[in-house]
Amino acid sequence: MAEITAKRVGELRAKTGAGLMDCKRALAESEGDFETAVDILRKKGVATAAKKAGRDASEGIVETYIHTGGKVGVMVELNCESDFVAKNDGFQAFAKDICMHIAAANPSCVSREEVSQTDLDKEREIATAQAEGKPPQAVQKIVEGKLEKYYSQVCLLDQPFVKNPDTTIKDLLTEKIATLGENLIVRRFARFVVGD
């Protein structure tokens, strides 16, 4: 078992954004294994986010971002539960990151629930046609895989974060909920392109 030092706890906190005591407990639980401790904190963050999901998030900010050259602009409404969190630097930096991501990745909606049934049916039809000639059990898997890929292209929450493609926007949101201790919701966004 690796020794659990204050430096190690600090490193874990810097990587995950979790509280000091949570980091210390995660390191103890993982017997000092840093990567296992990160996984423990991520799972805890998901559980924390799930508990907070039903809470009312009617405060927040509208953040904007204009890309260099002024050809692309984004406006995002990011909600939280309290005015206190809305004024938090971490919350505001997260809103700015979401804006920059939208400018770069060009999602068409926030979540899967916003994808129209017409668009889904069209994508399913295309995927089924592409899988033609394959065994029936393979067709279903291929179609589901193509739909997952489609979601990751058009839904903000399913997209890999442009600054860290190993993390989705939804994962990032979950981490922020755990760190800030409030329910957070990306309510809506608008992306403007000159001449579009």
The CATH number linked to 83 is 3.30.479.20
Q: Is residue 167 part of a domain?
A: yes
Judge if 96 and 126 occupy the same domain.
no
Judge if 90 and 125 occupy the same domain.
no
Judge if 80 and 97 occupy the same domain.
yes
Judge if 65 and 106 occupy the same domain.
yes
Q: Is residue 162 part of a domain?
A: yes
Rounded to whole angstroms, the Cα distance separating 118 from 90 reads 38
Residue-range definition of the domain harbouring residue 101: 59-111+155-193
Judge if 14 and 39 occupy the same domain.
yes
Judge if 175 and 105 occupy the same domain.
yes
Q: Is residue 12 part of a domain?
A: yes
* SS3 state at 69: coil
For the stretch 86-118, pLDDT in tens is 899 999 999 999 999 999 999 999 999 999 999
Residue 163 pLDDT > 90, yes or no? Answer: yes
Judge if 89 and 177 occupy the same domain.
yes
Query: What are the C-alpha distances in Å from 130 to residues 17, 121, 124?
Result: 43, 14, 10
Minimal CA–CA distance to 5: which of 38, 22, 27?
Answer: 27
What integer is the mean pLDDT of 54-73? 85
Domain count, the chain: 3
Q: What is the pLDDT of residue 168?
A: 93
Q: Strand 185-193's sheet: what is its strand order?
A: 59-66, 72-80, 185-193
Q: Is residue 103 part of a domain?
A: yes
What integer is the mean pLDDT of 56-83? 90
Q: What is the pLDDT of residue 141?
A: 87
Q: What is the pLDDT of residue 135?
A: 83
Q: What is the pLDDT of residue 142?
A: 87
- Please report, rounded to a whole number, the percentage of residues in the chain having pLDDT higher than 70: 88
Residue 53 pLDDT > 80, yes or no? Answer: no
Per DSSP bridges, beta strands 160-161 and 164-168 are antiparallel
Compute the mean pLDDT over every residue in the chain, rounded to the nearest whole number. Answer: 85
Judge if 149 and 160 occupy the same domain.
no
Judge if 161 and 189 occupy the same domain.
yes
Q: Is residue 1 part of a domain?
A: no
